[in-house]
Amino acid sequence: MKDPLSDCIKTMLVQNSKFKGSVLTALADEDMVKILNSTQKQIKSVNDIIREHNIAHTTAYRKIKWMVENDLLVVEQIKLTEDGKKSSLFRCAFSSAKVNYENGQVSIEMVKNANKMKQTAERFFSLDGDVS
Q: Kindly report the backbone phi and psi dihedral angles of residue 103, in degrees, each rounded to the nearest multiple of 5, phi listed first.
A: 50, 40
The model's pTM = 0.76
Q: Kindly report the backbone phi and psi dihedral angles of residue 16, in degrees, each rounded to the nearest multiple of 5, phi listed first.
A: -70, 120
- Reading phi first (left if > 0) and then psi (alpha if -120 to 50, else beta), residue 109 is in beta
pLDDT number for residue 81: 80
Q: What mean pLDDT, rounded, does the chain reach? A: 84
Tens of pLDDT, residue by residue over 75-118, are 998 988 888 888 899 999 999 999 999 999 999 999 988 765 55
Residue ranges and CATH numbers for the domains of the chain are 12-125 (1.10.10.10)
Of how many residues is the chain composed?
Answer: 132
pLDDT number for residue 84: 86
